Every structure is written in structure tokens, then in C-alpha cells.
């Protein structure tokens, strides 16, 4: 009779589901899981903080379009991971968190790393959370957790394994490992709604397509380009959808926030096709900054709860973005074709001129203007580099200049605005895309939150390049205080003249210190050529505020 443990059954189920990597920080309550990984050769990317384990699993899931898996131990392990779980929940990222727990029945005995109900803590920020109470149930629970996480709308799940359950000996022959675990059937749009959408777009004079995360998650880049080219409708895109319509394409009109710069009546859309996009503060749906309140709206999302959440919808399609685009393309006939050349040219002109406000910047100032720093970083990159933007205003400066030609090559803050996610997230992206160059742009505030992950990059040989835009300040906080209370009333916003490059060197990475604009591109190229993880510390001016931050602050 072959014996095993409950933890080992969890690993066997993960392997059956096709999991090839987990992210974790060891804790005694996880011993059975770690021994299962060792026995079955499931690689463990061990990090320095549980939040980073969760962020790495998120990055792996989003960049690899797959399930991310994180192991976190009991007590402080799960509480440390809470921000990541909430981040995955709001960003609809499929991550399976398996957490350790004190023995069953020990909740009121003051046991170490126990004393509270972990599931009660995570239920509001997960799609599903459950506790295994006997080892033979673990395969079924792991399989179900994966199905829930990967079914649209995707999201995080938590499975708690008490230490006595995971370490319990069981007869392997009595265990049943589910053979079919994950399944995905894209939701089709209703034909009548597709016809209504086509009629609405055909009647518009200034239609626009807004591409969100759903375009990337459904692999709809080819269909997006085909429909845009057939109809002539310009495309705005953000986050993972950046590059679905290449920045060099004649119908690419800019980021979603570019719409906020269109103020003249003949520049504002009168009809919008929003694909895989959720409206909220980041998309300014409530304030109508993106498009007029009276503009016709076709909203497509896999989650019907998002349709009409913020603003009224003329055609609501609860369906997969790629399947909807395919249906729209099939229904789009010659009778619907119309001339949008003047509209296209008007948008193209506005997009090409949106950087004019920075054209006269003094490039010889003592500290580098962050816009010029971000532009120099982007200009130095290979075209297929994967970009991660973290650090509040650091990410917003990067967004001002980002130009991507490949979908799923740009990631930044989601609905939670989780400052400091970037280092862990970049680790997951690099593991998911081992042949890609990965660059993270982060502020000096954000980089301090999980700085020890430079050690993780060094130990695991991950050639991630991290650029710190160092303005010696919590820049977004400073500017928000200026707006609310007036200049000169700042408090708790100053940071020291830290040498993050030297600190990263101490953790085994390469370090570069940059104070001149002309030295940025050579530092970025040298860092990637070195083939080792690197930290580039760039001294930038703290006074300027990114345009997108200004819009967000005035909309808060």
C-alpha cells in the first residue's frame, strides 16, 4: 500500500491541471506542499514576502494568460498576501492561493499563527474560499478552485489546508485525482445585439472603439485590427490592450485618456464600442471625460454585472470580446461602409500633438524632467520589451510615452492602485516570458515596499531591469496635498537621497546611477546587455505632475 500526504495530493492535482510553477514563501504550515513540490519536481519560485508571491503569481497569470499559483503560510502569511488577493480580485486575475493554517479545532487555543478565521478574512475579496477538512477531499477542492478561478469573469480563489490535514498520511490508491479540471467556452454574443451594434455604429459620424483588458484576455488582437480596418473606426486602448492595435497603425488613436483631451464638439465621439472594458475612476465613466453623456454606447464584457454599472448602455453584450468582434465582422456588410477619413485625421492630429506641452522643456535643469526620463527609457528599448509601470506618478509618466506593437506587453496599476506591486509582478512576467526583456519603471516610494525582491531576482537569475524614477518624495501624495490644502502645507511626503542602485548591488544585482538625461539610454542598454537583474536609479524633478494624475486627482 503506497502512502502519501494531503499536501502531496494537492501537488499531484496541480500537475494534472498543467501547473508548471508556483510562487511562495516557506512557512512550517506548508511543509507537506513543499515536500510534494520537491518529490514531483514542481519548480518553486521562492520570494522574500508573501505579497510579492501573490504579485508574482498575478504577473505570471496576466502575462502568460494562464492560472497563477501562490503558496502562503498561516497567520501573517495570509495577512501579508491580502493586498495581492484584493488586487487580483479587482483586476479579475485567475490566481489560486493555497494557504496553510493551524490544526483543525485549535481556533480557541492561542495556537501559533492561528486564532482567527482566515476564510472570513478573504471571502469578500475572492470568487471562492474553502477549507479542506480531510486529506482525500483535497484533489476535488483544488480542481474546483481552479475551475472557479479560470471561469469568466476570472479571479482569485483561496484554499486553506490546515497543517494536520496536509500532513495526514493517506493511501494513494484511495485518492481520486480529477482528470478534467479546467475548461473554457467563450460566451457568444446574441445575433440580435450584434445587428443592433452594427446599426448604431453605421449611423454614427464619429465612432470610436475603446479596447480594454478583455481584448487581450480573449486573444482578440487580430479580430480587433480586422474590424477596425473594415469599418475605419479609430481605436483607443489601455493596459494589456496596448499593442492590440499597434501604435504605428493608422487607426490607432491613443490611450483611453487621450479622449479626455478632445474637447471640441467635432472631436468627441458620438458612438463608442467598448470592448472588455470596465468603467470607473480610471476610465472616467462617471464624469463623462472620455466621451459625452449623450454618445451612444455599445458595451461588451464577459461579466454582465459591468454593463450599465456606471453609465447607461444602448447595446449591452455580455460576451467574449473576440467572439463579439468575429460576429461584428461577419455582420458588417458593404451597405454599412461610410467615409471616416476626416474623423481619423482629426484624431491622428490631436494624438500627435498631445506632447506639445513638453516640447519646450529645459533639458539642462539640475534634475531630469520625469517626462523626458520616461521618453528616453522607452526610446532605448527593443520593440518587444514587456513594460511594467508602478509607483503612482512614475507609472503615469511612463503611460504618457508608451508605444506598444504587441498586445499584453504593457502592465500597470489596476482598480486597487496597489503601489509597490511592480517588483513581484515583474518576477512573474519574466518567468512567464523567459525569452522577453522585462523592464519595470517604479517610483522611489513604491520600490521601497518590496525592495528585498531584488534578492529574489538575483538568486533566480531573472534579468529584469528596474528603473527607479527618484524624486526623493512621495510625489503623488505631495501633489494631492497641494491640490487639497494648497502649496506649502505638505506633510510626510519627503524621502531621502537614497542610492537604490547601491542597495540593489548589495542584494546581488547590477546598479546604475543616472543624473543626466543623455546617460539614460546607455544605462538601459547596458543593463539589458549585461544579462543580470539591474537597478537604474534616475534623479528626476519632483515638481511636474503627469497629465493623467491631474485628471485623476480632479475626478476623485
Nearest to 511, CA basis, from 492, 494, 536, 485: 536
Nearest to 413, CA basis, from 476, 358, 371: 476
Where in the sequence numbering do the catalytic residues fall?
29, 50, 113, 417
- At 198 the three-state DSSP class reads helix
- At 26 the three-state DSSP class reads coil
| Residues 534, 382: Cα–Cα separation, whole Å | 17
Measured from the Cβ of residue 471, the count of other Cβ atoms closer than 10 Å reads: 24
| Residues 403, 408: Cα–Cα separation, whole Å | 12
Q: How many helices (H) and strands (E) does the chain have?
A: 22, 20
Q: Which residues contact 251 (CB under 8 A, 6 or more apart)?
A: 228, 229, 232, 233, 234, 235, 245, 344
| Residues 298, 468: Cα–Cα separation, whole Å | 40
Tell me if 223 sits within 8 A of 217, measured CB to CB: no
User: CA angle 548-62-470, nearest 5°?
Assistant: 45
CA 362 to chain CA mean position, Å? 34
DSSP-derived letter for residue 45 is: E
Helix (H) or strand (E) holding 70: strand 68-72
Nearest to 339, CA basis, from 224, 228, 231, 234: 231
| Residues 17, 21: Cα–Cα separation, whole Å | 12
Backbone angles phi, psi at 33, to 5 degrees: -65, -45
Q: Put residue 271 in one of left, alpha, beta given phi > 0 → left and psi -120 to 50 → alpha.
A: beta
Nearest to 283, CA basis, from 344, 247, 221, 241: 241
Tell me if 161 sits within 8 A of 9, measured CB to CB: no
Nearest to 249, CA basis, from 108, 374, 405, 112: 405
| Residues 85, 122: Cα–Cα separation, whole Å | 8
- At 353 the three-state DSSP class reads helix
Amino acid at each position: 500500500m503506497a502512502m502519501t500526504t494531503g499536501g502531496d495530493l494537492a501537488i499531484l492535482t496541480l500537475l494534472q491541471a498543467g501547473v508548471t510553477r508556483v510562487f511562495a514563501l516557506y512557512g512550517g504550515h506548508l511543509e507537506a506542499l513543499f515536500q510534494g513540490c520537491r518529490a514531483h519536481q514542481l519548480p518553486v519560485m521562492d520570494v522574500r514576502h508573501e505579497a510579492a508571491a501573490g504579485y508574482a503569481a498575478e504577473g505570471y497569470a496576466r502575462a502568460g494568460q494562464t492560472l497563477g499559483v501562490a503558496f502562503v503560510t498561516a497567520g501573517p502569511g495570509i495577512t501579508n498576501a491580502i493586498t495581492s488577493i484584493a488586487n487580483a480580485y479587482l483586476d479579475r486575475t485567475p490566481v489560486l492561493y493555497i494557504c496553510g493554517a493551524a490544526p483543525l479545532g485549535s481556533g480557541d487555543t492561542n495556537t501559533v499563527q492561528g486564532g482567527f478565521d482566515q476564510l472570513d478574512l478573504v471571502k469578500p475579496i475572492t470568487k471562492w474560499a474553502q477549507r479542506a477538512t480531510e486529506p482525500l477531499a483535497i484533489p476535488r477542492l483544488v480542481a474546483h478552485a481552479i475551475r472557479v478561478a479560470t471561469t469568466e469573469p476570472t479571479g482569485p480563489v483561496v484554499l486553506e489546508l490546515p497543517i494536520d490535514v496536509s500532513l495526514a498520511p493517506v493511501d494513494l490508491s484511495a485518492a481520486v485525482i480529477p482528470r478534467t479540471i479546467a475548461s473554457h467556452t467563450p460566451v457568444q454574443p446574441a445575433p440580435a445585439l450584434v445587428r443592433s451594434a452594427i446599426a448604431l455604429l453605421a449611423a454614427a459620424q464619429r465612432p470610436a472603439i475603446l479596447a480594454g483588458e478583455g481584448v487581450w484576455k480573449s486573444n482578440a488582437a487580430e479580430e480587433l485590427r480586422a474590424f477596425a480596418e473594415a469599418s475605419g473606426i479609430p481605436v483607443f486602448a489601455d493596459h494589456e490592450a496596448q499593442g492590440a492595435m499597434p501604435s504605428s497603425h493608422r487607426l490607432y488613436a491613443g490611450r483611453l485618456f487621450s479622449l479626455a483631451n478632445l474637447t471640441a464638439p467635432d472631436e468627441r465621439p458620438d458612438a463608442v464600442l467598448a470592448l472588455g472594458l470596465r468603467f470607473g475612476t480610471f476610465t472616467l465613466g462617471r464624469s463623462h471625460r472620455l466621451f459625452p453623456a449623450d454618445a451612444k454606447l455599445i458595451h461588451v464584457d464577459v461579466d454582465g454585472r459591468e454593463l450599465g454599472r456606471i453609465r447607461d448602455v444602448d447595446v449591452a453584450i455580455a460576451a467574449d470580446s473576440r467572439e463579439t468582434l468575429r460576429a461584428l465582422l461577419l455582420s458588417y456588410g458593404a451597405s454599412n461602409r461610410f467615409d471616416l477619413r476626416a474623423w481619423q485625421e482629426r484624431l491622428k492630429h490631436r494624438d500627435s500633438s498631445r506632447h506639445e506641452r513638453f516640447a519646450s522643456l529645459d533639458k539642462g535643469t539640475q534634475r531630469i524632467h520625469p517626462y523626458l526620463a520616461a521618453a528616453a527609457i522607452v526610446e532605448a528599448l527593443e520593440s518587444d520589451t514587456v513594460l511594467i509601470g508602478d509607483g503612482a506618478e512614475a507609472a503615469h509618466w511612463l503611460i504618457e510615452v508608451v508605444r506598444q506593437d504587441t498586445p499584453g506587453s504593457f502592465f500597470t496599476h489596476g482598480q486597487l492602485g496597489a503601489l509597490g506591486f511592480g517588483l513581484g509582478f515583474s518576477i512573474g512576467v519574466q518567468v512567464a516570458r523567459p525569452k522577453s526583456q522585462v523592464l519595470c519603471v517604479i517610483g522611489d516610494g513604491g520600490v521601497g515596499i518590496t525592495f528585498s525582491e531584488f534578492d529574489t531576482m538575483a538568486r533566480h537569475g531573472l534579468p529584469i531591469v528596474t528603473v527607479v524614477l527618484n524624486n526623493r518624495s512621495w510625489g503623488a501624495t505631495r501633489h494631492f496635498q497641494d491640490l487639497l490644502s494648497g502649496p506649502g502645507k505638505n506633510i510626510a511626503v519627503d524621502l531621502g537621497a537614497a542610492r537604490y542602485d547601491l542597495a540593489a548591488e548589495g542584494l546581488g544585482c547590477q546598479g546604475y546611477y543616472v543624473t543626466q538625461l543623455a546617460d539614460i539610454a546607455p544605462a538601459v542598454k547596458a543593463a539589458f546587455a549585461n544579462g543580470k537583474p539591474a537597478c537604474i536609479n534616475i534623479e528626476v524633478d519632483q515638481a511636474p505632475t503627469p497629465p493623467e494624475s491631474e485628471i485623476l486627482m480632479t475626478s476623485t
